[in-house]
Structure 1
């Protein structure tokens, strides 16, 4: 996708700022960035601990990341300008999110990366929740690899019950992707099981990395 040069430079600048802020404020560490696709589409699948998560995953990748956001956030006077600037994909949960899914597929087929949280919601206790299978059809239709990501520390810094974040340590681990060829030969249940296993492994590695 073609974007204005100002938006491209702005995204890169935001990533540099996020890396600096994460390192200074949260002693952020990450590993496995080489597992992101060097080119072409990629469906990036992470566990979900807090509002920090999209930024945490995005800053670990040297390529642009596309984000999904509830359509109601596009009307939030504080978040809307940033969400629009980052070219986020609006998702209408009450309406089934069909338009958002079509846009996600379009960007994947255009060779871009899209971040999703297949648990569907933030964790209540810091552990990885069961994955919802909706991503399987997107992966099949886009023929994009699934890239597992595990993050830890974001829940401790900003649990869903807290209005404001606090300082702490965070870590992100990016695992080896599940290729499109492998996905084509697996059932949805097998895909969910395999991805869940890889996200769990990345999460445990991230927990060890931040300690």
Structure 2
């Protein structure tokens, strides 16, 4: 979609002008097939930053309210986003997400469901585990390491796909599956701290 490519180009210019961004592990993202990309959430800038640094196009869930405004709705569809109702189980959003994965696309999620006010990793919601268990998609953890301060050094780290085959064969709940994903995100954050002297 031209709007996605245009937006990605603009965001790339913005981030390069505002921050010193290091990207690690893009080779861990499969070049084709369904991918469930799960990241921590520290800022409203996370979706465009992950979108810019990921070598593949990503479809993100976005709050339903944005799709009630005609112009914004057109833009959201143009950048491959789809609506989700917050605070409840949205079956339509779950079906849409599964369809994207089965069609070989990349679905981007922030399992915490909301931004972390402290910057610390929070508890993930069961939705991420649902998609991981109900699809055959590769599950790739991602960590955005900041904070977002002008000219500050930042890092986006993509981890190796989590081996979900034995997990899918078991009887874990969606929440248990999410907890596994969150643990991997936590390890990425722990093992990729920033050198503050270089900021």
Runs (4+) off by over 6 Å: none
Deviation at 1:191, TM superposition (A): 2.9
Deviation at 1:99, TM superposition (A): 0.7
Aligned mates of 2:109, 2:195 — CA distance in 1: 23
What is the TM-score of this pair, normalised by structure 2? 0.86
| 1:173 paired to 2:166 | no
Show CA shifts across 1:33-73 (max 9, x none).
11112111011100011110111111111211001001101
Specify every segment of 5 or more residues in structure 1 that has no aligned partner in the other structure, as ranges.
1-6, 158-165
Let me know the Cα RMSD of the aligned residues: 2.3
22 and 46 in structure 1: CA distance in 2 versus 1, 3 angstrom threshold: same
Question: Aligned to 2:33, what secondary structure does the other structure show?
Answer: coil
Say whether the 8 Å CA contact 1:172–1:206 is kept in structure 2.
Answer: no
207 and 19 in structure 1: CA distance in 2 versus 1, 3 angstrom threshold: farther
140 and 152 in structure 1: CA distance in 2 versus 1, 3 angstrom threshold: same
Deviation at 1:193, TM superposition (A): 3.7
What is the TM-score of this pair, normalised by structure 1? 0.81
Residue aligning to 2:46? 53
68 and 209 in structure 1: CA distance in 2 versus 1, 3 angstrom threshold: farther
Aligned mates of 1:149, 1:112 — CA distance in 2: 17
167 and 80 in structure 1: CA distance in 2 versus 1, 3 angstrom threshold: farther
Which residue among 8, 12, 16 is the counterpart of 1:19? 12
94 and 194 in structure 1: CA distance in 2 versus 1, 3 angstrom threshold: closer
182 and 16 in structure 1: CA distance in 2 versus 1, 3 angstrom threshold: farther
| 1:111 paired to 2:104 | yes
Equivalent pairs counted in the alignment come to 195
Deviation at 1:209, TM superposition (A): 6.2
